[in-house]
Chains A and B, each alone.
Chain A
Amino acid sequence: MSTQQAEPESQEAPEDPEMKGAESPAAEEQKGGGMVDEHAEKRAELEGETVHIKVFRYDPEVEGKQEPRFDDFHVPFEKGMTVLDSVMYARDEYDSSLTFRHSCRQAVCGSDAFFVNGKQRLGCKTQISDLEQPVRIEPLPHQEVVKDLVVDMDHFYDQMHTVEPYFQDEDTPATDDLEEQRQSPENREKIKMSSRCIWCGACMSSCNIAAGDNEYLGPAAINKAYKFAMDDREDEQIKEHRLRILEQEHGVWRCQTQFSCTEVCPKDIPLTEHIQELKREAVKKNLKFW
């Protein structure tokens, strides 16, 4: 693995001393004499506590950032502050080049999944006061890093698309006869948790199997397929077609039930359970066992 990968190597980056980030050329170029002074000044102005965050930095284009490192920031703590709030503060007040995805900041857009203190979490949903300091914030492991905390999501999206993630019945309503398909509340309940996926990629990043097998569909895509396969509104033939996609060599049978996906899912989706249920369905349909 190259250094562009937020693989365990980069997680093992040396425990840098306080303010090491300031020694980097990028930081020295900052207006006002570099990050050390700025931090000191900011802290002197603060009356309350500050939170110490260590943020992974990497930019393929900028000299001094091509070698991955951690930057330290001390941000004033406010009640209710989340990990996302802390990196936003660091970016807006200290270093505008600090890069990460974020949008809704209420756990529905799925863009700010980071590796925080060794676990995949949504930045916006994680209270900073729940974490041990210094808080280490890194990009999702096992994904190529584009810059700082931004990883390339293309492979994740490709896997999601592989399972044909769309309703397949072609039966659209006639305009003069408006009637919905019927679905029992129980069936809706059955697919409810699977329908909550926000495509954040935390599960995929936490999965050992996905890390070693690039073709493995992965927990998110399998869960997406579960949502359709278990929905009574699609007919049996389509369900079998879905199970065939899922029981292929790099499908459900690869899962070794380590539960890491279930553990990190910010929407509490029982991913491992869904994968097991699909294995059982495949067996029931006499599909191939790899």
Chain B
Amino acid sequence: MYEHDVIVVGAGGAGLRAAIAAHEAGADVAMVSKLHPVRSHTGAAEGGINAALQEGDDWELHAYDTMKGSDYLGDAPAVETLAKNSPEETINLEHWGMPFSREEDGRVSQRPFGGLSYPRTTYAGAETGHHLLHTMYEQVVKRGIQVYDEWYVMNLATTDEADPNDRECHGVVAYDVQSGNIEGFKANQGVVLATGGPGQAFDHTTNAVSCTGDGHAMAYRAGAPLEDMEFIQFHPTSLPSTGVLISEGVRGEGGILYNSEGERFMFEHGYANNSGELASRDVVARAELTEVQEGRGVEDEYVHLDMRHLGEERIMDRLENILHLAEDFEGVDGLVEPMPVKPGQHYAMGGIEVDENGQTCVNGLYAAGECACVSVHGGNRLGGNALPELIVFGKRAGRHAAGEDLGEPEIRTGYGDDVEDETDADLPVQPGEAGLDTAGGVAADGGVTADAEGILERTVETARQRVDRLMDKEDGVQHAEIRAKLQKAMTDYVNVFRTEEGVKKALRLIRECRQEYQDVYVDDPSRTFNTDLQQTIETRNLIDVAETIALGALVRNEFRGAHWRQENQIRDDENWLKHTLISWDEGEPSIFYRPVILEGENKTYEPKERSY
């Protein structure tokens, strides 16, 4: 058994920032990650970091744009924390040596992004995430923080009191991918989940293959609710064949979208008469698919993104990486041809419910980054707001886990007297009740009496038995088959446009995946680097996460942000200024709601019609 004060699970942007912060607060920190840190998906982020750095801009404008972009589903205390802290954190990265793009006077450059009232996106070419990831990993190396890389965390070691608010997380159980050894990692002060997004629930995604919602699923099964999971961002410009991302920076720099008839449809068909291509992402994604559906798509599938008029010099300076991606993955030379693009799953606005300090309702369990929902993005994330979220809330989670007092949070978590729990949605199946492979979250029996070591040992034992079962079974279904079916169901029915009937179909298919998973087996008999085993466990996580996405999409019977419903194409502020929360209640999802906090420090954000 390994033992540290703070265990950070995942080593992308949020995890690295959390680890550095906890280390600076004096804690003995370790990072446990299924990938080596430099392989994390933060490295694929292209666009930039929103931070009000320049004169004429200020954090209140950033907060306002973010609340509007969120379609008034962001919680103001979280949004304001982000906007206030991002400048300091961005400058801090610069001091750590991050190679930002520069102006002639040597200051960091900023550029326009969708939904922003000021050009406040700080960037490093079209490779901002790569530089952010490497810069922070460098700082982890500098500080000598322990990294257990290629260790796959399977489970949280959490006590099992009936009310998740009374539970305590004492550590994690992980297996060493190289050797197959399963070990406990005891966390004396806290566990920070920073496991990234769940994009692999969809088959056309900009997300890495490793983005399988592991943290979401582990926290969910340990009792922390998942919040606003229905809000999935579909990025308007991904390459049609692979899902590879073409940065919003292309539109920020002046790139233009055309349909097959050569029309600049964002204006000509009235989707966003003021902002055009720079409307927020949900607006542009719907516009593109509408063009395709109305027969004005190219090859009935995509539209064109043209940046030729920007000129080679500007492209090479600010968007060079985009030229390489278009060439390598689509065979298109962006200097002489327009690039084919279509919406692709990109980001989960929802995630593990946390407060401004990154804490979940389970004591000692934190989450930060894309796997968490604090919530700053509400119904729709603005481009350039993911990276500041990583650093601002990663740092807060790390500090709080290390015992620093960050003050009383305004955001509440878990089931309490401020929630509303009736739902009149007609569920097609009781999707959670299939017992499936006892991978449940809480391992201790009678948590009050068990000590931390005992809980960890029991969780390790459960994990070992589970792996033995999967490995010993000689025949059955393979994970790849189930995963493909799940991804197809989500892409067919829980995509940009959603209908009640479609989402119900998705839930039935997800239920089928659950049932098939009962019969899953691992064909590779080796304990050495067994990716078959790892992907089998990941697939179980994807099923749990996909189910919460579809359930959220079914119960939220309105149109808000990225969540569009055929039957009800209006935003229903009367009934839906609230977060959807889904918790794992004895093996079944239970749904409740918590009101959005629109009161900020100095003002209340009044919901207005969102036009661009």
Q: Which of A's residues lie within 8 Å of B, judged by CB?
A: 30-31, 59-62, 65, 79-80, 91-93, 95-97, 99-111, 125, 127, 146-148, 150, 153, 157, 161, 164-167, 169, 171-173, 175, 178-185, 188, 191-192, 195-196, 198-199, 227-228, 231, 233-234
Contact = CB atoms under 8 A, between A and B. Distances in A.
Given A178-B88, A179-B91, A199-B38, 4 more contacts: A173-B95, A191-B99, A227-B99, A233-B97
B525 interface: yes
Contacts of A103: 35, 39, 41, 208-210
Interface in B89-147: 91-92, 94-97, 99-108, 125, 127, 129-131, 134-135, 138-139, 141-142
B111 to A, nearest CB: 14
A61 B526 CA distance: 6
A108 B43 contact: yes
Interface in B289-339: 324-325, 328-331
A60 B529 CA distance: 11
**A-B pairs, 10 with minimum CB distance:** A167-B97, A182-B106, A97-B524, A166-B138, A166-B142, A92-B480, A180-B94, A109-B39, A103-B208, A104-B208
B41 A147 contact: no
B531 interface: yes
A108 B209 contact: no
B104 A180 contact: no
A166 B97 contact: yes
A31 B519 CA distance: 15
A106 B44 contact: yes
A172 B142 CA distance: 15
A96 B526 contact: no
Nearest to B98: A167
Q: Which of B92, B106, B241 is most buried by chain A, counting CB atoms within 10 A of its CB?
A: B106
B371 to A, nearest CB: 16
Q: Which of A92, A103, A199 is most buried by chain B, counting CB atoms within 10 A of its CB?
A: A103
A183 B106 contact: yes
B384 interface: no
Contacts of B531: 91, 99-100
Nearest to B206: A106
B27 to A, nearest CB: 19
A109 B43 contact: yes
23 contacts: A61-B528, A65-B526, A91-B531, A96-B479, A99-B524, A99-B529, A104-B41, A104-B208, A104-B209, A106-B242, A106-B245, A106-B325, A106-B329, A108-B129, A157-B36, A166-B97, A166-B139, A166-B141, A167-B139, A178-B87, A180-B100, A180-B107, A198-B38
B532 interface: yes
A35 B171 CA distance: 43
Q: Which of A148, A185, A234 is most buried by chain B, counting CB atoms within 10 A of its CB?
A: A185
Nearest to A97: B524
Contacts of A93: 480
B178 interface: yes
Contact of B526 (A59, A127, A188, A231): A59
Contacts of A80: 241-242, 329-331
A59 B528 contact: yes
B269 interface: no
Interface in B164-183: 178
Given A31-B523, A109-B43, A146 B528 contact: yes
A211 B564 CA distance: 57
B97 A102 contact: no
Nearest to A150: B529
Interface of B: 35-36, 38-41, 43-44, 53, 87-88, 91-92, 94-97, 99-108, 125, 127, 129-131, 134-135, 138-139, 141-142, 178, 208-210, 241-242, 244-245, 324-325, 328-331, 475, 478-480, 484, 522-532
Contacts of B96: 166-167
Given A166-B97, A180-B91, A180-B107, A105 B209 contact: yes
A62 B526 contact: yes
A135 B329 CA distance: 19
A95 B523 CA distance: 8
Given A80-B241, A103-B208, A105-B242, A181 B528 contact: no
Contacts of A178: 53, 87-88, 91
Contacts of A199: 36, 38
A71 to B, nearest CB: 14
B504 to A, nearest CB: 28
Nearest to B147: A157
Contacts of A185: 101-104, 106
Q: Which of A31, A228, A234 is most buried by chain B, counting CB atoms within 10 A of its CB?
A: A31
A202 to B, nearest CB: 14
A175 B88 CA distance: 7
Contacts of B329: 80, 106
A185 B142 CA distance: 27
A203 to B, nearest CB: 15
B347 to A, nearest CB: 15
Contacts of B524: 96-97, 99
A125 B130 contact: no
Contacts of B532: 96-97
A85 to B, nearest CB: 9
A18 B512 CA distance: 39
A198 B324 CA distance: 15
A199 B40 CA distance: 12
A196 B479 CA distance: 35
A109 B44 contact: yes
Given A61-B526, A169-B95, A196-B127, A109 B102 contact: no
A105 B208 contact: yes
Contact of A172 (B95, B103, B107, B480): B95
Contacts of A99: 524, 529-531
Contacts of A181: 94-95
Given A80-B330, A111-B35, A111-B39, A196 B102 contact: no
A99 B92 CA distance: 40
A153 B92 CA distance: 31
Contacts of B522: 96
Contact of A146 (B35, B103, B325, B529): B529
Contacts of B36: 111, 153, 157, 199
A165 B478 CA distance: 42
A111 B44 CA distance: 13
A182 B105 contact: yes
A167 B173 CA distance: 34
A220 to B, nearest CB: 11
A157 B127 CA distance: 22
Given A103-B210, A147-B526, A173-B92, A188 B138 contact: no
Nearest to A63: B525
Given A146-B529, A199-B38, A104 B43 contact: yes
B21 to A, nearest CB: 13
A192 B325 CA distance: 18
A96 B208 contact: no
Contacts of A169: 95, 97
B422 to A, nearest CB: 42
Contacts of B102: 183-185, 188
A108 B44 contact: yes
A125 B101 contact: no
Nearest to A169: B95
B65 to A, nearest CB: 20
Nearest to B524: A97
